[in-house]
Structure 1
Amino acid sequence: MPDQPAPRPPDPQRRNQKSRRAILDTALDLCAEHGYGPVTVEAIAARAGVSKKTIYRWWPSKGAVVLEALDDAATPAADFPDTGDIRADLVTQMEGLLRGLFADPRVGRALTGLIADTQHAPDLARDLDQMLIQPRAEQARTRLAKARTDGGIRADADLDLSLELLYGPVYYRLLLHQGDLHSSAEIRELVDHVLRALAPHAPE
C-alpha cells in the first residue's frame, strides 16, 4: 500500500487572514448591536473566537480595530470613476459611498462612534484622517482637478471647498442624526446645487 502523504501543516497566513476577517466583522456587528461605546476588545475577542492578546498584537485599541473594519468596507464603495462627465461621476461615487457605508447599519453606528472617540484620542483622529478620509478625498480632489482642467467646472474653483460642499451634508446628517441622504434624487439634487456654484463663467 503506498505511503499516504503527510498532512500539510496549517498555513499561518491563511489562519491569520481568517482570524483578521472574523475580528473586523465582529467589531462591526457589535457596534450595530450595542453602539460603539459599550464595545470592548474583550467582547470582540470572545465572539470572534480569538484571544485578546491576538487583537492587541495587531491593533493598539478598539478604535484601531473599528477603523480598519471601516476602511475595508469603504475600499470598494468609494472608488471614483472617470467617464469624462463630472456630474455622472460624482453621482455614481456618492451613491456608491452611501450605499456601501451608510446603508449598512453596522457601518453607520461604528463610524459615528469612532468619530466621537477621536475627540479625546489624537492618535486615533490622525489615523482616521490618514487611513479613511484623506485617500478618498484625494481621489475626489484629483477628479475635480481634471474637471477644472477640462472646463467642466470653473478654472478658479477651490477644490477643497468644493469637497466640503459635496460631502459636508453627508456627515452633517449622519453625525447630527438628521437622516441619511438615501435616494438617488437627493444625491443628484445635492450634486446639481454644488455644480451650479462651480459652473464655468459664461464668456463675455
Structure 2
Amino acid sequence: MPDYALENAHGGRVAGVDEVGRGPLAGPVVAAAVMFLSGVPGVLADRLDDSKKLKPAVRQQLYDVLHTTPGILIGVGAASVSEIERYNILRASWVAMQRAVGRLPQSPELVLVDGNAAPDFGCPARCVVGGDAISLSISAASVVAKVIRDRLMTRLAQRWPGYGWERNAGYGTPIHRAALMADGISPHHRAAFGTVRRIMQASVSPSLPPERGAAIMLNNS
C-alpha cells in the first residue's frame, strides 16, 4: 500500500502527479495533481492505491472524498487527440501533467511524478517508478485522473456508440477493434497510432466523415 514517506521526507508542499490514457486508441490523455496541505486523512490513507487496482465504485468514493475534504488541492489537465498526434503520446502526457500542476491553487515545492521521466514544472521534480503504489499523493492523483477520463469517455460514447467506450475507455478491446473494422475511425481516434493504422489498413469499410472542429469539454465536477 502507498504511504506518505516521500512527502514527509521533503517537509514542504509536495504534489503527486499521474496521468491516465497513454495506451488507449481513442480519447485524450488526462493528468491530475494532488497536494495534501495537512497530511492525508485516515479515511484516504487506508484506502488509496493505484487506481487500476480499485473497483470503479471505490474510485468514485475516493474521488468524492478528495474533492470534499478541506486541505486537499487538486489540479487537472488534459492533452487532446490532436496534441497527441502533434507531440507524440509521451510529450502530450507531459503537457497534461504541466497543465494539472499549473492549475493547483498553490504552487508545489516538489512534484512527485509516476514514471521514470518528467517535464519541467518550474520547481524540483522527482520520478517514482510505480509511484501510484508507493506515494499517497500520486495514488490520489491517479484516482482523480482515472475517474475524470472514464467519465469523459462515457460521454463521448453517447455521441459515438458502437465502440464500447463506456466500458473500455478507448482501449483496444475486441469490441472496439471490431467497430473500427466495421465503421471506421471517429474524430476522437488516435489515427497516428500504429494499432489504429493497421486496423484501418485491414478494413475495407470507409472511414466516418471527419469532424476536426469538434471540441472536447473537460468537466471535472
What is the TM-score of this pair, normalised by structure 1? Answer: 0.34
Higher strand fraction (1 or 2): 2
Higher radius of gyration, 1 or 2: 1
Higher helix fraction (1 or 2): 1
What is the TM-score of this pair, normalised by structure 2? Answer: 0.32
